Amino acid sequence: MNMFNYKLHKDNDNKYWIDFYNKEEKEHFNVFIKSLIDTQILVGTSTNIHKNKLYFYAEVVVTFTDFLQNRKSGKSCGMNIIMNMIDCLSKQIFYLESNGYSFYKLTMESILVIDDCRFIVIDHGLMLKLNPRIPKTIYFDVPVNKDGFISTELKNLSVLPSSIPYNSIYYSLGLVVLCYLNGSPLKEDEFPLKQNKILESIIDTKLYSFIKRCLHSNIEKRRLLFI
């Protein structure tokens, strides 16, 4: 499994390790590694002295793309998986926020699924430092790729330099959950209709309220809150 900034390896004893490439400045990458270790999303995770390898044990590791494909082929899915996904990804997002960073978007290939129950964002290239001049915002001074799960604020960003609120990433997580419920990414031209159909199917659940908070049109009212 290859990506522009990591490579996944496996030995014969269910031991995996990830080699990271294209590391940014040291502080940035250290915070990213700690978001995978200190949160204990993966039990028993460790790194080497140079912090360019991540070690953990698992039976199966796939990208979110392959995970959805497996679901189409008839493998189990349900509320427990959704809850695990929300819990794991929220922990990593909150950890970054508490240390002055945020992902600015998520993508299908940026999420790894471990044993169908643990989810991590593995692409540290999607991580930016929060703007020290304007609290709780992400600063953009160069164009960014706008594919994947992105917020309306990022999609409409046309002037550089600019800042958007850090909880823009909550919108992205809401889209990931909708993608799972749909079984595939929602295309832009079909998004409103399919979104409404999915939400109507879960309208009396806590999951409905969670997604609505993530996708709130007023970014100041967006929350990662499952109650």
Per-residue pLDDT for 19 more than 70? yes
User: Which CATH homologous superfamily contains domain 2-221?
Assistant: Transferase(Phosphotransferase) domain 1 (1.10.510.10)
By CB neighbour count within 10 A (0-12 exposed, 13-18 middle, 19+ buried), where does 175 fall? buried
Q: What are the tens digits of pLDDT across the range 87-104?
A: 999 999 999 999 999 999
Q: What are the tens digits of pLDDT across the range 164-220?
A: 999 999 999 999 999 999 888 777 777 777 888 899 999 999 999 999 999 999 998
Contact, 89 vs 68, CB < 8 A?
Answer: no
* pLDDT on residue 72: 66
Q: What are the tens digits of pLDDT across the range 32-88?
A: 999 999 999 988 899 988 888 899 999 999 999 999 988 765 555 678 899 999 999
pTM exceeds cut of 0.85: yes
